[in-house]
Chains A and B, each alone.
Chain A
Amino acid sequence: MAWTWFHRLGSPPYIYNLAARLTPWFGWLAAAFIAYGLIGGLIISPADYQQGEGYRIIYVHVPTAWMSMQVYMVMAIASAVGLIWRIKVAHAVAACCGGMGASFTVCALATGSLWGAPMWGTYWEWDPRIIFELVLLFQFLGYMGLRAAIDDPQRADRISGLLAVVGVVNIPIIHYSVEWWNSLHQTASVMKLGKPSMPVDMLLPLLSMFLGYSLLFGALLLIRLRAQLLSRERSASWIREVVSA
């Protein structure tokens, strides 16, 4: 009885309708949090005492970097669920993540580069965290390429899912790279045990942007998931109902 909800999550028509109902909630909440994050980051928060106004790139760089790892974790966990319990919806979730994950990673690398130029004096440095973030981009692209290269959808799910699960080893490497090796990046100031070492008026817009991106990712995932289910469930009778509605 306790597992009823879990089995329902594996039902494509149930998930399709649930996704359609939840998307506006995720979308509007995302808009609110991102709007506050942008206003807070660009106007409300004070200038940094060392980096001046240039530090404001933090509000677009750090949340996109966190999101790149979060999206990968969602993709890997969904792939693992799909592989272990053979749930097609889980594979569909994983399939939706590749493009969005690659986008977040490109944003993290590009904004990091724009931040690095004035602060480090270079657009690119072979810094451990940057290298492993670049590896993460190649992982997303590799996942998408592998999936696109296999015609049989079930085989594509299994093989690309395995790649996603194995590749999860890069996530702790990105996170701890600043502690394991000498790095231009600072060590954790928010994602750490204990109190974040950032003033509240700087921290709140940052957290708001991260929450906004997470909700935006949720909304986009729900939209893409509906598209995936429609194209995967080719002969299901429920498709007739939802398409004609």
Chain B
Amino acid sequence: MAGLMEYLDMGGYARYVWPSYALVVAFIVVNIFAARSALKRARVEAKRRLAMKGPEGNAP
């Protein structure tokens, strides 16, 4: 346990090291979520446009 606490303390630099890693992990998660939701939105929008145009692709 003492070893773990010593590791987490990062030699006294914990308040600089861990926020740096947390920020980058958050950046990765947010960017994955943003890209996937952008694709999902584009697909929904494309489907909506196609539905408005009708089965042959001609606008009513």
The residues of A with any CB-CB pair to B shorter than 8 Å are: 34, 38, 42, 47, 52-54, 56-57, 60-61, 64, 99-100, 103-104, 106-107, 110-111, 114-115, 117-118, 216, 220, 223-224, 226-228, 230-231, 234-235, 237, 239-240, 243
Contacts and interface: CB of A to CB of B under 8 A. Distances in A.
A243 B11 contact: no
A224 B23 contact: no
Interface size classification for chain B? 20 to 34
A152 B11 CA distance: 55
A56 B54 CA distance: 58
Contact of A34 (B28, B30, B46, B49): B28
Contact of B17 (A34, A53, A107): A53
Q: Is the interface of B mostly helix, strand, loop or mixed?
A: helix
Contacts of A34: 28
Interface of B: 10-13, 16-17, 19-21, 23-24, 27-28, 30-32, 34-36, 38-39, 41-43, 45-47, 49-50, 57
B49 A234 contact: yes
B35 to A, nearest CB: 4
A37 B28 CA distance: 14
Q: Is the interface of A mostly helix, strand, loop or mixed?
A: helix
A230 B45 CA distance: 9
Contacts of B20: 57, 60-61, 110-111, 114-115
